[in-house]
Structure 1
């Protein structure tokens, strides 16, 4: 037995003990405290063997929070008299209460009904393919994450999961039997309707595959002539394939592999990529830091799949995990990033966290153009025709797509023609306002990650406190807003001058914290900078000045910094105690995640304030921007600011 298998069996054994043993048809048997058989001992069971925990087990077995003495007697295989005495004893110490009713002489219920709510409960809605879990154990959440998507959390122990086709297509299992076992461990029982649907999706994900022909070209292969004729040959055209080879095989055009996979994915049939892609020259590299357990799991899952997208909150160490994947692959690596600032930061991270020498690392962008065994390039440069051949000439063992949510855009997608044996994407939030996020997983690979709430609970990443503050209108801005139309209204609300006083108030309320203040408009940034005497870092700031300001902030020499949109992902901003979002990009969920993420770190205690002008569309935008974080377990509160609130 492998270590992984042994670990799975051990977890299953623990789960069985926690939930009760299972009989042959997987129905749960409650793990209640059993009393001795009178026939064996010659006496009735001792009353003191009946505890409040036993009472809760009987309630759970009965499926209701109230029970009769007869129900207790039946559950524990004892006499009615002994059960009544035991219940009387629990009542005498205040653990339970009695209540006479018409249907039965007496029913009993816990004094603290909420004790029952502290137990894990799983409810399945198979027609909607939803799973609602209350107070789940960590094991249950780990099992659910392998085949379901965490849609939202309630903040008080409730979780709602949705089983989507792509979750089944990308489940990390070698066979359907292993997936079924995981499902039953998570749910605590069989659910035939849900399992039948999951099996149908499992089969869909194995209908097509790409393979390399002995002559070197790529072949699309279908499981049957029917699936090839009714699906592939209906949605693909001459831009994707040359001609049929047989009833189940088509000759794929060179360079059309990514587009072909995208078309079939959108038709509901993901393609398994079994091509013999070049692995590039070997690269001897090791990490100089230790991976956390969940990072190690990410790397192992990526190694098994050969492609994927690491999804985790800011501060969870996706870059370090990607370097772990690079060490595991051991091949020359191309890293694609959105900006030259990120290219420099990647170069520094590689030198800091691996055994590679700086001479082995190259950067290819507007500032410098050097190709080395590990090369960091911008998406725009890699997608340009005049530079493409340079990247094609080298066989990359691994391609890393940083900020992978950009990939579906027309400009960035051109870089995905670089098809290496291993492809890895990174993103805190692979969502797009144009709903093209499915393309991320077809062009790069399936999502790999741990739900944010699990990382919050484990203390690896601190959950920030988020507050939307509704700011009153400055009189002049309010009049201008009423007369404006279209997008001008958005800008007037965003630049509402009353926000200057509110930012000043928040900074005064947290005098010892390091604060990042985000703005979307340059004029607003300059106004705040002048009013508060805080430097403003934007796209217009020279690179040497950016580095100086960021260095001073990291060292603690500088406590306040204003940042434009350039700080959303183009810069490796230092972590702050306080983030104030003075204006936002139309409610972008990804932007809200990025900005709130600047406060996520293990130390905890961070605060995020989002300012929205009261009575404007900014109110809706602010809620939308943070809704995504709320669904990931981050609590969000709202407050209306009064005009006479002190600013000093």
Structure 2
């Protein structure tokens, strides 16, 4: 095998066996061979390609494009050195597997694939995961092959290190070895991330600087035009048009060159803020990383306390703050939470939306209002020390994007799920700042956030009429009919009766379905049609345990701050987006344990595939997902064969619950 192949899985130089057969004087297989001896690393390459940890000689020959006889002899060669084991089975004469598999159950193992920029880790400890999170993306945390990390360009561009040497040290600590191939690529990405920066000229205007005349001429001046810059100042400097900074950062980011923002922005009037709650260790780490970068996006599951961490950022900045939220309900909730957890007084906090028009040292405004020309000048005229973008996954949309033109010394985004179905999530980080977060599974393991039990339940049709309508429908109409399956009414009723002591939220995507469930269960239906004062009354009653059940439309996904529940039933809606699945499952993800999430999908329809697909990313974040076929006789309330046991949960929080919000009713 070649040096390149042998070093691929080990991340370093190829490991030649200490054997006379390896010195080129003899040929252990009897066939013509490459200069380099077959190694265990080659076996790992082939097993990765085959997608299983054991191989037959035939599978190895296909993976490495060698004869089967050659493959058999290579395997025997490794077996003689106890690197692999052989096992006879009925379907194949012999299968082979690495000897080290026998003790993988009690030790951490890291395998690096430099060409694919992937890292597979079996049983990683907390230190390894923390180090990996600084330069790699957890692509799959629920795989049979272990934790799968991918090193992407943006992970290197946003790595929290001041120098290449510090980043290289973190990599070597995480991998337990030096991977020259991976390090070479990472170094190239580190260099790309330091080619451009925005600075403030002594006369007050903004300058785009390049590290060399070549990079300025071949990249920036090819991508930017008079809409973005006035004129060159030198071979490596351009005079930037006021207000085009965000566009320049986005364009160069998309070209593969993130821009370092070193502008001397005004921080506005000082505003001392004391945080009156103790931050958890990981929240303190978030705030410290934000303080180093001056910008960022706090990414973590619902219940991880992103809002309280944002108040920690406010306390660090000690400057006037503008908070942008999707709805007026969230503006009110933010105001209440700031009063509860900080030293600020009511007269220092203002709300600016359809119901109130107050601009104060801390102002909470809706994205829609902040983007309107007739209101925007009020925010432009004030020098903000910090702008916070709540539910910032919406920032790339045309409606919200205008709010990112507001300039401030510091920018902070919050999101449980920075996922967009239009694949524009990269724009979130160019418009607001780099992601700062903690791996979900680490929070589950540490007990800061309780992992809900999530089960997809496949429900039969409630009547033949809807089943026949589905069979004759096309396109999106098929999904709509399946989502509104009347059989789900009986299933919701059944699940509520199976958990009589739970505080429950039932989610629907369609007003008609919500109204039908409301009538069938004699329970209020909270939707976009519900007046604001009525919403507030119903939600407050739920929080005070005066109600134990609400039916909620899509407005509850992000547009309002829903109280914590210990039972969530998603009757329809997971066909919309992965973010929607995260938000709905997240309504039970709080420090109190025992939470259950049931997702209902009509059996044998496209809704089955939608439900599996939209929940896959939750599985990759460490959540356990089960599947269950619903089988009951018509009109019967008998248990399923494998019905889930009832769980207890008090639905309470520890005082720093997440404020979740997105597109609301303005």
**TM-score, with length taken from structure 2:** 0.80
Q: Residues 37-60 of structure 1: CA distance to partner in whole angstroms, max 9, x if unpaired? A: xxxxxxxxxxxxxxxxxxxxxxxx
Q: Report the alpha carbon displacement of residue 27 of structure 1 after superposing the two structures with TM.
A: 13
- CA displacement, residues 554-598 of structure 1 (integer Å, 9 cap, x when unaligned): 122211110001100111111111110000152410000000000
Question: Partner of 1:83 in structure 2?
Answer: none
3-state SS in 1 of match to 2:129: helix
Q: Which residue of 1 aligns with 2:495?
A: 506
Matched with 2:423 is 435
Give yes or no for the alignment of 1:369 onto 2:326. Answer: no
Secondary structure at the residue paired with 1:154? strand
Which residue matches 2:73? none
- What is the alpha-carbon distance in structure 2 between the residues aligned to residue 273 and residue 152 of structure 1? 32
Alignment of 1:97-116 (within 5 A): 115-116=103-104
Which position in structure 1 is the counterpart of 2:541? 552
The question of 1:310 aligning with 2:303 is answered no
Over 3 Å counting, the alpha-carbon distance change for 1:125 and 1:512 in structure 2 is: same
Deviation at 1:544, TM superposition (A): 1.8
Is 2:257 the counterpart of 1:269?
A: yes
Aligned partner of 1:52 in structure 2 is: none
Counterpart pick for 2:275 among 267, 287, 300: 287
- SS across alignment from 2:384: coil
Tell me by how many angstroms 1:485 deviates: 2.3
Tell me whether 1:212 sits opposite 2:163 in the alignment. Answer: no
Report how far residue 284 of structure 1 moved: 1.3
Q: How far apart are residue 484 of structure 1 and its match?
A: 2.1
Aligned to 1:644: 633
Contact 1:501 1:647 in 2 (8 A): no
* Alpha-carbon contact 2:209-2:238 (below 8 Å) kept: yes
Q: Is contact 2:507-2:568 (8 Å) kept?
A: yes
1:470 maps to 2:458? yes
- Partners in 2 of 1:270 and 1:138 — Cα distance? 30
- Is the CA contact 2:470–2:482 (under 8 Å) kept in the aligned structure 1? yes
| 1:160 corresponds to 2:144 | no
Q: What SS class does the counterpart of residue 442 from structure 2 fall into?
A: helix
Kindly state the Cα deviation for residue 429 of structure 1 after the two structures are TM-superposed. Answer: 0.6
String of CA shifts for 1:245-294, please: whole Å, max 9, x gaps: 11111111100000010000000000000111010100011011110000
Taking the TM superposition and a 5 Å limit, the aligned residue runs for 1:136-535 are 136-154=124-142, 158-474=146-462, 475-535=464-524
Where relative contact order (Cα < 8 A, 6+ residues apart) is larger, the structure is 2
- Counterpart in 2 of 1:11? none
Following TM superposition, by how much is the alpha carbon of 1:238 offset from its aligned partner in structure 2, in angstroms?
1.3
State yes or no: 1:537 paired with 2:562: no
Q: In structure 2, what is the Cα distance between the partners aligned to 1:236 and 1:372?
A: 37
Residue aligned with 2:302, SS: coil
Q: Secondary structure at the match of 1:397?
A: strand
Q: 1:103 to 1:279 in 2, by over 3 A?
A: closer
Residue matched to 2:648: none
Question: Is contact 1:502–1:647 with CA below 8 Å preserved after alignment?
Answer: no
1:586-597 correspondence runs (5 A): 586-597=575-586
Post-superposition shift, 1:155? Answer: 6.2
Runs of 5+ consecutive residues of structure 1 not aligned to the other structure = 1-24, 29-61, 64-101
Contact 1:462 1:601 in 2 (8 A): yes
| Residues 27 and 189 in structure 1, CA contact (< 8 A), matched pair in contact too | no
CA distance, structure 2, for counterparts of residue 156 and residue 261 of structure 1 = 39
Residues 112 and 226 (structure 1), Cα distance of their counterparts in 2 relative to 1, 3 Å cut: closer
The equivalent of 1:606 in structure 2 is 595
- Give the Cα separation in 1 of the matches to 2:144 and 2:535: 42
The farther-off stretch of 210-219 and 318-327 is 210-219
Aligned-residue CA RMSD (Å): 2.3
Note the alpha carbon deviations across 1:163-222, whole angstroms, 9 max, x for none: 000000111111011111100000000000000000000000000000011111111000
Q: CA deviation at 1:480?
A: 1.3
